[in-house]
């Protein structure tokens, strides 16, 4: 396949390259794109050095699959151009996720939706949505869910390279208020947590919180399920965590739920309170699988459980999921 990566120097773009290599994706040609800032830099892939290109219609010609990982503005302009040029687009931004005719795919959950579309743009869901659903889907398979209350603990790399830089910088200069940066995050992210990701909307929720609700319903193809979220940025370098409270239509059997999770691909269970076992974001960092633990009956509510899930949001929350989608296209 002739592959393009837009945003190849970014947190997600670099991970896509790693995963294409790890999974031995069939590549005959590779074309990498970045901003003007990166012109002149080279990227090594399988011992070959690749130059970085600026994005233009001409430069996007003759590619089979183009991964977009450079934000929604660029995707909105260039993804339809790629589609017209005949290539598939796998888009990591939010630009097309809720378009009716564009599939929004988590391969373990709804790979079939790709076959139902004539479009060549495929959207990769929001990272918190993917990680949450990797736990929620098998639970829903075991017993129908009606409502989820989710609180996320999202790492700084979710905001890309500059989020990582801001946490490192502010931690280094934490005693020097004049040097604290608030460029990527509204408030100082070091030794703090920020309960706002994305802009506030009229309903009081944030964009990130509404993504979990809207995207999950599309992926699960279920309008009867609702997600009430609070999304929080935390000074963790990598991997998101989500605390879930899940309400079912009917009574449940917790062993049946755990068995259904064990059968599901891409998720591990780390849950043994006698052995003090539960997952943390560091446990999932650089791992393909999400990890779920703290699965417990909610003693305050009939037909409800609580759980805790972690996952590497650059990997399964973005790059791995995108490459898995590409594999579906190639197979
Ligand atoms: N980080 C995550 O955990 C995560 C998870 C899910 C989805 N996403 C989505 O994935 C996308 C990329 O995020 P990221 O975290 O990787 O961001 P990032 O680290 O800030 O990287 C942004 C990339 O876009 C490139 N870029 C910027 N302007 C460009 C232009 N005009 N032409 C070509 N390339 C341009 C940058 O190139 P330069 O280096 O030259 O500036 C860089 O390669 C975003 O849509 C984000 O919402 C991110």
Whichever domain contains 224, its CATH number is 3.30.360.10
Q: What is the pLDDT of residue 331?
A: 81
Residues 151, 82 share a domain: no
Residues 148, 104 share a domain: no
Residues 272, 179 share a domain: yes
Residues 99, 27 share a domain: yes
Active site residue 290: no
Residues 210, 198 share a domain: yes
Helix ranges restricted to H, the chain:
11-22, 72-85, 107-110, 127-142, 161-172, 207-220, 254-263, 281-284, 320-330
What DSSP line would sit under 32-79, residue for residue? Answer: EE--GGGTT-EEEETTEEEEEE---TGGG-S-SEEEE-S-HHHHHHHH
Whichever domain contains 326, its CATH number is 3.40.50.720
Q: Which domain holds residue 153?
A: 128-317
Torsion angles phi and psi, residue 108, rounded to 5: -70, -20
Residue nearest to atom 30 of ligand 1 (CA): 35
The answer to whether residues 59 and 33 touch, using CB atoms and an 8 Å cutoff, is: yes
CB 127 near ligand 1, within 6 Å: yes
Number of domains in the chain: 2
Ligand 1 geometric centre to CA of 237 (Å): 17
Q: Which of 8, 34, 82, 238 to mutate to test the pocket of ligand 1 (most atoms within 8 A of CB)?
A: 34
CB 35 near ligand 1, within 6 Å: yes
What residue ranges of the chain have pLDDT lower than 50? Answer: none
Phi-psi bin for 242: left (phi > 0), alpha (psi -120 to 50), beta? beta
Residues 191, 89 share a domain: no
Ligand 1 atom nearest the C-alpha of 13 is 16
Q: What is the pLDDT of residue 216?
A: 98
Residues 163, 107 share a domain: no
Q: What is the pLDDT of residue 77?
A: 98
Residues 70, 110 share a domain: yes
Distance CA 280, CA 17 (A): 26
Name the average pLDDT for the chain. 97
Residues 171, 213 share a domain: yes
Ligand 1 geometric centre to CA of 70 (Å): 3
Ligand 1 geometric centre to CA of 117 (Å): 27
Active site residue 240: yes
Residues 163, 146 share a domain: yes
Ligand 1 atom nearest the C-alpha of 39 is 40
Tokens of 300: 């305050």
Ligand 1 geometric centre to CA of 10 (Å): 5
Residues 325, 299 share a domain: no
Residue nearest to atom 3 of ligand 1 (CA): 158
């Amino acid at each position: 396949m002739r592959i393009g990566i837009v945003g190849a120097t970014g947190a997600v773009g670099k991970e896509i390259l790693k995963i294409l290599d790890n999974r031995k994706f069939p590549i005959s040609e590779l074309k990498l794109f970045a901003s003007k800032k990166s012109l002149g830099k080279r990227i090594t892939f399988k011992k070959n050095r690749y130059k970085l290109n600026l994005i233009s219609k001409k430069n996007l010609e003759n590619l089979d699959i183009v991964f977009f990982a450079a934000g929604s503005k660029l995707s909105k302009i260039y993804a339809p151009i790629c589609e017209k040029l005949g290539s598939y687009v796998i888009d990591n931004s939010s630009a097309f996720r809720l378009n009716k005719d564009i599939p929004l795919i988590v391969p373990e959950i709804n790979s079939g939706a790709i076959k139902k579309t004539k479009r060549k743009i495929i959207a990769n869901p929001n990272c918190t949505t993917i990680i949450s659903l990797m736990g929620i889907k098998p639970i829903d398979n075991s017993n129908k869910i009606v409502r989820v209350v989710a609180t996320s603990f999202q790492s700084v790399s979710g905001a890309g390279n500059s989020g990582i830089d801001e946490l490192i910088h502010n931690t280094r200069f934490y005693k020097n208020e004049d040097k604290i940066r608030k460029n990527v995050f509204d408030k100082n992210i070091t030794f703090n947590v920020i309960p706002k990701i994305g802009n506030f909307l009229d309903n009081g929720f944030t964009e990130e919180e509404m993504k979990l609700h809207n995207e999950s319903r599309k992926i699960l193809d279920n309008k009867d399920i609702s997600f009430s979220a609070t999304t929080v940025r935390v000074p963790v370098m990598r991997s998101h965590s989500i605390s879930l409270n899940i309400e079912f239509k009917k009574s449940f059997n917790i062993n049946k739920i755990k068995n259904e999770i064990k059968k599901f691909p891409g998720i591990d269970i780390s849950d043994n309170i006698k052995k003090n076992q539960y997952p943390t974001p560091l446990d999932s960092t650089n791992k393909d699988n999400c990890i779920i633990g703290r699965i417990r009956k909610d003693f305050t509510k009939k037909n409800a459980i609580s759980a805790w899930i972690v996952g590497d949001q650059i990997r399964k929350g973005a790059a791995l999921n995108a490459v898995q989608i590409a594999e579906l296209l190639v197979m």
